[in-house]
Structure 1
Amino acid sequence: MEFTGRFVSGLRIDLESHRIELTVQCDRDDIGPEWDDLRKNEKLAFTVKPWKKKRSLDANAYYWQLVTKLADKLNISKPYLHNILLRRYGRPEVIDGQMVFLVLPDSEEGTKKADEAETYHIRPTSEVKTGKDGKLYRTYVMLRGSSTYDTAEMSALIDGLVSECKEQGIETIPPQELERMMEMYEKNWRKRHEETA
């Protein structure tokens, strides 16, 4: 259970146990069920610290927060889920108007490396050819990392992830908050590109 509140009175010392007692007032009025479960325990751990307003999430942080929740729910790694999402909702790498392709061994190990890769992102195609060594090789499309996405691209990626989270019963932020987040992403994206121009 987590809540904000304030101390109602100063420290009080219990005369029998000689231990300090604190009285707090919660800002929430709906902790009854949680409290009922907690008070069954003989001993609880408490953390009291000054309240600070939480920084609002930016689009990238929100994306990774949802990736973590969905990966945990599906019992898969975050890099694997990130690669799946980029394959479904991401954008190909293009140089001089041409998509970039990569060829890897069409083996269990090759597939696993492609699925779990963190420093590059690739999407398999149906094209498999036999190499001069007699082994099979699959062609992959190179994908851009999400850190290069403009607002429309990042929005499509997050929308796809949000949709998949909802299918799994994972709570997501309201559309208005997501819209505000994407407006901030747009401002930051423009600023970054103006600085590098």
Structure 2
Amino acid sequence: MGKVIGRLPVVYDPAARRVQVESSAEFVETQLLQRLDDLAHGQPLRLTLTVEPERKGRSTQQNRLMWALLTIMADAYNAGRTGGVTPEECYLDMLEKYGAKVDFLEVPAGALEILRRCYRLVHVVEILNNDRCTVKCTQGSSSFTTAEMKNLIDGIFDRLAEMGVNDPMVTAYWQEWKEP
């Protein structure tokens, strides 16, 4: 796949069999045409047009709620003691349960920094002989759609209920989450 020059939001109208640039995308269209002019240097420029459905990524609000709930979950696992289970460990567990692709790799310990540039989360599972380790890697929820993120947050609420967490903040978050 070649380098993406830009993304232009459009709407397909099946009745008219036409694709129209969204009115809010006029600025993006102008920028894209300017970039194409710069690349073309006054000559025809061959391009490949890729059409894909719009994908709405998770919202900032969803992300904040997820981390607040994961912090409450870790605190519940630790029963008020310091140390123990971290919100990040809860995050990895919930990601694995709710659809994030997880890779387990055996690598030299020196390769951890390279992995951290390729994966969103890299967690050392086991230290092995000869300066090697087993790691658990995932892209994280940043690649989730709003629907996938909703499923993850619903799952976190379910896990907190299963754990018997009776925290007024969880109740408040739940009420706010379920509002239409």
- Structure whose CA Rg is larger: 1
Regarding TM over 0.5, the answer is: no
TM-score tier (shorter): 0.3 to 0.5
Query: Please, what TM-score do these two structures have when normalized by structure 1?
Result: 0.39
